[in-house]
Amino acid sequence: MAIDPDIVNRYSQARHTRDQAAAAAPDSATDPAFLEAQEDFREALSAYLLDLEINGMSVPADLQSELDALTDVSEPPANG
């Protein structure tokens, strides 16, 4: 089965937007536009990887690592 072209397009656009926001932000760690673009990219990447898995394709290790890193940063610490 082919992967969903809408998901691929969203992933590609989100990566491009995030990269542009990073280049434009003097301090991307606190820049609201970058942080929003980063979160949108995380969501798009997650959907892209899920679509690959659903369609029986292997997930590239570099993309999985990138998602893992984004998820670790974006999730709030657990209250314990």
Q: What is the pTM of this model?
A: 0.82
The burial class, CB within 10 Å (0-12 / 13-18 / 19+), for 54 is exposed
Range of lowest pLDDT (3-17, 29-43, 47-61, 66-80): 66-80
User: Side chain identity at 30, as an amino acid letter?
Assistant: T
CA-nearest of 68, 1, 70, 78 to 35 is 70
The answer to whether residue 80 scores a pLDDT higher than 80 is: no
pLDDT tens column, 1-29 = 568 999 999 999 999 999 999 999 888 77
Q: Up-side HSE of residue 13: CA atoms within 13 Å toward CB?
A: 7
**Domain limits of the chain?**
5-73
Radius of gyration of the chain (CA): 14
